[in-house]
């Protein structure tokens, strides 16, 4: 059975191109070519494909949309990608040297669900493993302010809004970003301007952190 969100992402699978930047120079600073890397919410595999083309060969993707996985298998048949519909990450503890999480927190609107996913990522990362996140921040332009306001009553968190195709997205406050990523030691944090999958511009960030075993 699908949730309405899975259906909306299934619908998006062949209609969208994802655009948050994989900053390869930065990634290469922290993640060696030999690393086993998990892409959580890998979509149709564009980031894994870019990593593959740059000599990263130990790659795994998971996504909760079967159509995204289907597109990935058609478009990039050499990638290993699997459907994963549970909120848990279906790998053993300490399975990966690095995890990438690109534009996925924006799809998970509740704080608790984001924290759960980040705990799962911490669990499957090796000690000293690296997490590389990019995602969306709150904007202050009128178009965004209007849609944040329109959905303020419906969703308790400021910055959540719906798109006409049924997708529900969240733009995050900086304060929340630092709170939810606090269980990783920050190695790099940068505020960026992203193109969005709908051809607009948005504030965004990139975070690289280390899985320190002492931090819960
Ligand atoms: C904006 S797309 C980004 C895809 C990919 N990370 C990229 O940057 O190309 C978000 C992806 O996250 C997936 N997704 C959303 N919520 C998810 C969840 N709770 N668990 C797993 N995947 C999820 C969607 O199906 C979609 O493929």
Which residues' Cβ are closer than 6 Å to ligand 1? 9, 18, 20, 41-43, 46-47, 63-65, 68, 102-104, 107-108
Distance in angstroms (rounded) separating the CA atoms of residues 74 and 10: 15
- 191 — phi, psi (to 5°)? -95, 135
Mean pLDDT score of the chain? 96
Tokens of 101: 């999480």
Nearest CA to ligand 1 atom 13: 41
Token look-up 């058609």 returns 74
pLDDT digits (tens, 9 = 90+) for 53-111: 999 999 999 999 999 999 999 999 999 999 999 999 999 999 999 999 999 999 999 99
Domains and CATH numbers, the chain: 4-210 (3.40.50.150)
pLDDT of 212: 85
Q: pTM (2 decimals)?
A: 0.97
Hey, which bits of 21-57 come out as E strands? 36-40
pLDDT digits (tens, 9 = 90+) for 162-184: 999 999 999 999 999 999 999 99
Residue 62: its H or E element = strand 58-63
Nearest CA to ligand 1 atom 1: 103
pLDDT of 214: 61
Distance in angstroms (rounded) separating the CA atoms of residues 134 and 106: 10
- Residue 66 exposure: Cα atoms within 13 Å on the Cβ side: 5
- 151 — phi, psi (to 5°)? -105, 10
């Amino acid at each position: 059975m699908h949730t309405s969100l899975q259906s909306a992402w299934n619908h998006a699978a062949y209609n969208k191109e994802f655009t948050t930047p994989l900053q390869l120079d930065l990634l290469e600073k922290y993640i060696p070519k030999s690393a086993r890397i998990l892409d959580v919410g890998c979509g149709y595999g564009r980031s894994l494909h870019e990593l593959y083309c740059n000599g990263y060969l130990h790659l795994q993707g998971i996504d909760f949309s079967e159509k995204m996985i289907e597109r990935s298998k058609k478009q990039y048949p050499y990638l290993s990608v699997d459907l994963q519909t549970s909120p848990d990450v279906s790998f053993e503890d300490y399975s990966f040297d690095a995890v990438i999480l690109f534009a996925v927190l924006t799809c998970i609107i509740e704080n608790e669900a984001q924290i759960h996913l980040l705990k799962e990522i911490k669990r499957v990362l090796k000690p000293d493993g690296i997490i590389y996140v990019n995602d969306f921040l709150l904007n202050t332009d009128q178009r965004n302010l209007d849609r944040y306001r329109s959905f303020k009553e419906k969703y308790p968190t400021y910055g959540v809004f719906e798109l006409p195709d049924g997708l529900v997205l969240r733009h995050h406050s900086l304060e929340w970003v630092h709170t939810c990523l606090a269980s990783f030691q920050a190695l790099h944090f940068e505020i960026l301007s992203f193109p969005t999958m709908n051809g607009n511009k948005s504030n965004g960030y990139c975070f690289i952190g280390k899985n320190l075993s002492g931090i819960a």
